[in-house]
Structure 1
Amino acid sequence: MTITARLAERGITLPNAPAPAANYVPFVLDGTTLYVSGQISQGPDGLIKGRLGDGMSVEDGAAAAQRCAISLLAQVNAACGGDLSRLKRVIKLTGFVNSTADFIDQPKVINGASDFLVAVLGDAGRHARSAVSAASLPLGVAVEIEGIFEISA
């Protein structure tokens, strides 16, 4: 089953790859290694804002992280010229969680992205990862995640 079909089973259609919000490129391809810039939490209704440990639940944070993963896949799709079958594996994610100083469940929040990628990609979705706290994130979003991927030439 294709990645697009597995996404469709979950009711997900990849959006257009989000445009950069500042002076950077959305991705850099070096051979078969694709580096995707940080994707902020946003859904069909706009930015997903909030701060974990201050009124936002871990479940809501995990849902925001899943939206970041969807944007990451949209960038991979753009980098692959619309041929998502070129994605071989997720190498590493770095997740940033807008959270209070005493919030300690950043890994549970970023699991929203990790679990989603494994569900959609199988073993190719298993990856190395960091999940860190941030005092704030751009535009007040709850989560930002960057990724490194392997693609076929």
Structure 2
Amino acid sequence: MKKLLLLVLLITGPVWAQSPEERIAELGIELPEVRQPSANFVKWRQVDNLLFLAGEGSPEKGTLGKDLTTKEGYAAARNTGIRILATLKAATGDLDRIKQFVKVRGMVNSAPDFYEQPQVINGFSDLMFEVFGERGKHARAAVGHVSLPSNIAVEIEVVVELKEEGE
């Protein structure tokens, strides 16, 4: 059985041999245009080989546990992830420059009795794994907030490590 598995892997190649951008295309995802902030801050800041992204909000609005279900929150976090992919692409020029995701902070607009913030932010985490494989796994916080700007459902901050030149 092990020999058969090895033969299959040799023929087909590793599961994550595709570039992140090839995976995005395969998943049928279209990256949106990246808009610059209207306030006095930047969308990203690179320090050495770490890239820090400003918080990105979901297109969906509402409070989880009141206006939105956990499933709808999961979709909002996934959609936020698509926006973050677009920002990462704009910041790096090539998503393959991302060595690994380091830290994610997921904020969920939550009703006082809503406790499924981790399941909501899984929408983001699952997408990053689909696109980047093991490189997309990250340390994470998923926390509830009484409100988020403009009543958005989800806001996510990201820190990624970039590959060194020639890596």
Q: TM-score, normalised on structure 1? A: 0.92
* 2:120 paired residue number: 109
SS in 2 for 1:92: strand
Unaligned runs of 5+ in 2: 1-17
* 1:45 paired residue number: none
CA RMSD across the alignment: 1.0
SS in 2 for 1:109: helix
Q: 2:132 aligns with which of 100, 121, 137?
A: 121
Distance between the aligned counterparts of 1:71 and 1:39, measured in 2?
Answer: 7
Distance between the aligned counterparts of 1:17 and 1:151, measured in 2?
Answer: 20
Distance between the aligned counterparts of 1:101 and 1:5, measured in 2?
Answer: 41
* 1:23 paired residue number: 40
Q: 1:98 aligns with which of 83, 105, 109?
A: 109
* Letter in structure 1 aligned against 2:25: A
Distance between the aligned counterparts of 2:137 and 2:27, measured in 1?
Answer: 19
* 1:68 paired residue number: 80
Give 1:18 shift.
3.1
Which protein shows a greater Rg? 2
Give 1:14 shift.
1.5
SS in 2 for 1:13: coil
Q: Which runs of 4+ in 1 moved over 3 A?
A: none
Between Structure 1 and Structure 2, the one with more helix by share is: 2
Q: How many positions carry a matched residue from both structures?
A: 147
Q: 2:56 aligns with which of 39, 58, 63?
A: 39
SS in 1 for 2:118: helix
8 Å CA contact retained: 1:14, 1:74: yes
* 1:142 paired residue number: 153
Structure 1 residue 51 corresponds to structure 2 residue 63 = yes
* Letter in structure 2 aligned against 1:142: A
Q: Deviations over 1:1-47 (max 9, x none)?
A: 111110111110222223214221000000110000000002xxxxx
Structure 1 residue 10 corresponds to structure 2 residue 22 = no
Q: TM-score, normalised on structure 2? A: 0.85
Unaligned runs of 5+ in 1: 43-47
